[in-house]
Structure 1
Amino acid sequence: MHADPTPTEPLCAALRADLTAAGYTAAAVRAAWGAVPDDAIGRGLIGPALTALAARDDALAVLARLLFLGQPTPVTVADRALPTLTSRGLVDLGLARIDGDDLVPTALVRPQDVDDEQGSGHWWIASDLDEAARGGALPVDHVLGVGGASLTLAGLQLTAPADRVLDVGCGCGIQALRARRVAEHVTATDISRRALAFTELNVLLNGQGGVQTRFGSLFEPVVGETFDRVVSNPPFVITPRVAGVPAYEYRDGGMAGDALVESFVTGVAAVLAPGGVAQLLGNWEYRADADGLERVREWVGRAPVPLEAWIVERELLDPLSYAELWVRDGGTTPGSGEYARLIDAWLDDFAARGVTGIGFGYLLLRRPASGTPTLARYERIAQPVPGALGPHLTEALAAWDRLTAMDDVALAASTLMVAPDVTEARHHAPGEEDPRVIELRQGGGFARSLEVDPGLAALVGACDGDLPVGVLIDAIADLLDVDAAALRADLLPRVRELIFTGFLALP
């Protein structure tokens, strides 16, 4: 164990001033060491970046070595790069120690780009030294910096304004900062006091207010309170509950199997205000007698307050691949005896529950504002997604609510527009006039691709915001020489799906 950060407003303001003066942004740092070293850093290799910066002693290069790569730096050099804070101030913040003539970082402070509907900018995010900076395995109280999962969840967050948001398992605070861009008040909780200290530091470092931290597990710190939105990148990693397997606080919630995600799903309704939405990442087990998504559906059904659910499974791993992923994540070297021992522990744990696979994906849960739940989608979407999904999810929920209030007569009277990112592809055999396959492809959202028949393709192609859907269907029925009523009954349910998924838009 090691000392926690000790943030204060004056010290964080001084560090912010020095980082700003040095131009310490993600783009500037990447430009300083170049494309190949930047790619190497993504693979845990910092040597090329250190080589690229070796001849430079300007403030940007010094801070990149010290705070991005976690390398000791002479105190005199660090003081020139941190003229407002100084080396002593970095020590007082709990982010470094002085060893002889060197300032030795005990944490990283890395720039992070911000680009969403509120605009573009950047943050600085402090977290513990990573494996490359440490030169070895991580301690169990490690506080993770910004990684792939945290960026994914930040991009999933709904973009509509909110009053109160709860961040469960806040870690270094990236989700709390993202939520604060649309919310008046954010409460961030964690079972790690060290994580809470990093969140407090990052909030102050980025000049934010309106974020309160609380210590505790899941919803215990906010019993009796409700929120408009709950967001969580919880410690969902399935870890064997046996001696000798490290229990990393940032990824292990201390429960067996996928019980942590189950507890979140069954308990979150108690802290959601009517109309409130919870979003999280999670794992769920496939077992010999149970499909993984069906198990999640059963969890939702056991919530004490009825919930709407949109669950998207993005990946399915076999037990060995899952074990290897998380043993490597902890810094254990493949091929070593320790690596083999940990893999065996994971496989034994899975075998004891009859686990055949582990799903990973996104969970969106909503407490209906009134009435009974109407949204229940459990789907598997494996294709790459082109960008942040928050705007798409926000639009999809709004579309769902409008569609729920519309009967088929109202829908037929509506005018629709084809979304600007939708394209059509037609596949013909050589020499044939009529296509064998017609596909609609979505450039944004979940990048869905749908095979459609000529009737639906004609309707989508004619949706230009001019004529009502019913009029278009009648015209298509005449063109195809089919019964208009039957065509309406066939197309209108599929039009509802196209509106929800973002191919078509209501005015």
Structure 2
Amino acid sequence: MNDALDAPPSRSHRGDVADGSSLPTPDPELCAALAADLRASGFRSDALREAWGEAADDAIGRGLRRPAERALGERTDALATLGRQLALGVPQPVDAVDDALPRLGARGLAGLGLAKVDRDLVVPLALVRPQSFADGSGDGEWWIASDLDEAALGDALPADHVVGAGGASLTLAGLQLPTPARRVLDLGTGCGIQALRARRDGDAVVATDVSRRALRYADLNALLNDVEGIGTRHGSLFEPVAGETFDRIVSNPPFVITPRADGVPAYEYRDAGLMGDALVEAVVTGVGTHLEPGGVAQLLGNWESREGHDGLDRVREWVESSPVPLDAWVVEREQLNPIEYAELWIRDGGTRPGTPRHAEMLEAWLDDFADRGVTAVGLGYVLLRRADGGPTLSRYERLPQPLGTQSALGTGLAAALAAHDRLTTMDDDALADAVLTVARDVTEARHHMPGTPEPSVIELRQGGGFARTVTADPSLAALVGACDGELAVGQLTVAIAALLDVDAAELRESLLPQVRRLLIDGFLAFADDAPSA
């Protein structure tokens, strides 16, 4: 950090200043000063949550800032001032901001385009919120600048709105593989969340977006968090990286299905201007040529089920139409009917039910869906890998249950791919010779009918990752329970067959396919790959 930024505050950055720009200005020196001030004030997510309470913190996520304001009361300390100014978007007195940001001051905040000074008040033009995260490398915290939200604006969002860290973007960040990569592409970076996460494992990140405003925020957030090696480029889809390939591609693209109708705003952060789910189709079919052999792409998406044509089947067709062979693992997390889907995104833009505007937009959405015969919309995750040879992984599934620990998602996906690749080289004899262990997050539940000694249902439950539940018969439950890293699968199968008085060869033929699935799903692990206790 520049030594000058650690010096006592200079009056050149403080008070009595002109308005800031409505666009963020990613100035390195000013970003370093802001970061130093935020660090000194303890401006962290856990500190703010403690300051205004858990209930008020949760309410902010629902667009309600007043409970947090009430909880802060008359506090004038730096954390309270910055909580109001930066996290809630509430104007604060110039003197209070100068005191809370002794290096940067109100003038510096305006110089970054994050506020303007109107007489004796500092009026927010953007939000800066702390965001905690966890991945395979450990826990961390970012400061994320983005446009004012609906609560701060007191109105519907403008079309060029740049959204901050939302639930979907944080989920994708958690899904990113925690494995080394030389070059990473963040396609449609927005405020830069995925680029920041990708840089933790990638040597260099190229972040693209069709919105120059979003790229300003991405540059600013990289500077604010002192993250080098992220370069931004302007353009649509793969145009900014034509002819280039990457080891990893991550994308939270503008996938929201939006009708092309008068009066329906086309928000840049969620709508690419294409019909239906054509944007997701374009990413899926085009991403393979920008991947190195073995390179992985991960993205969020929405896809339509149309009359007689299931949504996951349509995604499968997109994958198969790629000009290069792709392994595919597609997870549909939720499915909404057209009315539910339309209401979700109309409200997301700040239009309330019961108003004429809401009724007009709902009509436009339903007309659009009817034109294509849409019966449902799936929301989920896509993992694609450029196959070095022919594809070996083709998995399309619906997993509506709540997820496990999000910080373990990426680690679990990486382990699943590694297990899949290892199993493709193993025949049944090799698998029978393998020594396995049970994952630490796996538990067993047995359900009994009243008065019966034997369980009617045995379930194996996964605490992390996708939090799967597998129904097991007594032989599979016994095998999983005995996988302690000592005996091979074949030896355990023989012992269980003798215990249950069944044919060992038939039991082996029944169990080995299930063992393969449990290895890929993370219930079991090869003993030589399992983490040490």
Task: Determine if the TM-score, normalized by the shorter chain, exceeds 0.5.
Answer: yes
Counterpart-to-counterpart distance in 1, 2:450 and 2:115: 69
For 1:323, the equivalent position in structure 2 comes to 342
Partner of 2:195: 176
Q: CA offsets per residue over residues 3-23 of structure 1, 9 Å max, x none? A: 321111101001111111111
1:114 to 129, 133, 158: 133
How far has the Cα of 1:114 moved from its partner?
A: 2.5
**Cα displacement string for residues 409-435 of structure 1 (whole angstroms, at most 9, x for unaligned residues):** 110111111111111122222232222
Q: Which residue of 150, 167, 178 maps to 2:186?
A: 167
1:94 aligns with 2:105: no
Residue 439 of structure 1 aligns with an amino acid whose one-letter code is E
Question: Of 141, 151, 161, which aligns to 1:132?
Answer: 151
Q: Deviations over 1:271-328 (max 9, x none)?
A: 1001100001100001112001000000000000010000000000000000000000
CA–CA separation in structure 2 for the residues paired with 1:432 and 1:124? 57
- The C-alpha deviation readout for 1:82-113, integer Å capped at 9, x for no partner, is 11111111111111111122111100010111
Match of 1:363 in 2: 382
TM-superposed deviation, 1:163: 1.1
Cα offset for 1:121?
A: 2.4
What is the aligned counterpart of 2:448 among 428, 437, 445?
A: 428
Question: Once the two structures are superposed, what CA deviation does each residue of 1:241-282 show, in whole Å capped at 9, x if it has no partner?
Answer: 122210000000111000000000000001100110000110
Name which of 462, 465, 469 aligns with 1:445. 465
Question: Mean alpha-carbon deviation: is it higher for 102-111 or for 42-51?
Answer: 42-51
Q: Distance in 2 between matches of 1:102 and 1:446?
A: 48
> Residues 107-160 of structure 1, C-alpha deviation per residue, up to 9 Å, x if partnerless?
001011122221222111000000000001000000000111111111111111
Question: Do the aligned residues in 1 keep the contact of 2:135 with 2:410 (CA within 8 Å)?
Answer: no
1:75 aligns with 94
- Structure 2 counterpart of 1:374, from 382, 385, 392: 392
| Corresponding position: 1:481 with 2:501 | yes
Q: Which of 54, 68, 72 lines up with 1:53 in the alignment?
A: 72
Deviation at 1:39, TM superposition (A): 2.5
Residue type of the partner of 2:476? L
Q: Per-residue CA shift, 1:201-250, capped at 9, x if unaligned? A: 00000011000000011111111111111001100000001222100000
Structure 2 SS opposite 1:359: strand
Please say if residues 419 and 519 of structure 2, whose CA atoms lie closer than 8 Å, have aligned partners that are also in contact. yes
- Cα distance in 2 for partners of 1:399, 1:204 equals 38
Partner of 2:405: 387
Alignment CA distance shift 1:430-1:51 (3 Å): closer
Residues 7-65 of structure 1 show CA distances to partners (whole Å, capped at 9, x for unaligned) of 11101001111111111111111111122322321221111211222311111111111
Per-residue deviation, 1:387:
1.3
How far apart, in 1, do the equivalents of 2:249 and 2:386 lie? 11
- Extract unaligned runs of 5+ from structure 1: none
Partner of 1:9: 28
**Amino acid paired to 2:506:** A
> TM-score normalised to the size of structure 2?
0.93
Amino acid at match of 1:71: V
Q: Which residue of 2 aligns with 1:417?
A: 437
Pairing 1:397–2:417 present: yes
Q: Does 1:41 align with 2:77?
A: no
Q: Which residue of 2 aligns with 1:494?
A: 514
Q: Following the alignment from structure 1 to structure 2, what is the Cα–Cα distance between the partners of residues 83 and 381?
A: 49
Written as runs of structure 1 = structure 2, the 5 A alignment for 1:150-161 is 150-161=169-180
Letter in 1 for 2:65: I
* CA-CA distance at 1:196 after TM superposition: 0.2
The aligned counterpart of 2:531 is none
2:275 corresponds to 1:256: yes
**Displacement of 1:405:** 1.1
Quick check: 1:310 aligned with 2:329?
yes
Runs of 4+ with >6 A deviation:
none
2:240 to 211, 217, 221: 221
Once the two structures are superposed, residues 356-386 of structure 1 have per-residue CA deviations (whole angstroms, 9 ceiling, x without a partner) of: 0000001000112x22110000000011012
Cα distance in 2, alignment partners of residues 445 and 19 from structure 1: 33
Gapped regions of structure 2 (runs ≥ 5): 1-20, 528-533
Q: Which position in structure 2 is the counterpart of 1:466?
A: 486
Kindly report the root-mean-square deviation, in angstroms, between the aligned alpha carbons of the 2 structures.
1.1
> Take 2:345 and 2:111, find their aligned partners in 1: how far apart are those partners?
34
Of residues 298-307 and 426-435 in structure 1, the stretch that sits farther from structure 2 once superposed is 426-435
Structure 1 counterpart of 2:12: none
Counterpart Cα distance in 1 of 2:446 and 2:121: 66
Matched, 1:284 2:303: yes
Q: Does structure 1 retain, via aligned residues, the 8 Å contact 2:87–2:128? A: yes
C-alpha separation in 2, matches of 1:125 and 1:80: 22
Answer yes or no: is the 8 Å Cα contact 2:37–2:101 preserved in 1: yes
User: How far 1:449 moved relative to its partner?
Assistant: 0.9
CA distance in 2, matches of 1:3, 1:126: 13
Tell me which moved more, 130-139 or 119-128.
119-128
**Is 1:142 matched up with 2:190?**
no
Between 218-227 and 351-360, report the one with greater CA deviation.
218-227
Contact 2:325 2:389 survives alignment (8 Å): no
Q: Which residue in the other structure is 2:6 paired with?
A: none
Tell me the distance in 1 between the aligned counterparts of 2:225 and 2:105.
19
2:468 and 2:72 map into 1 onto residues whose CA distance is 43
Identity %: 66
The AA in structure 2 aligned to 1:240 is: P
Distance 1:308 1:457 in 2: 31
- Number of residue pairs the alignment of both structures matches: 505
Q: TM-score, normalised by structure 1?
A: 0.98
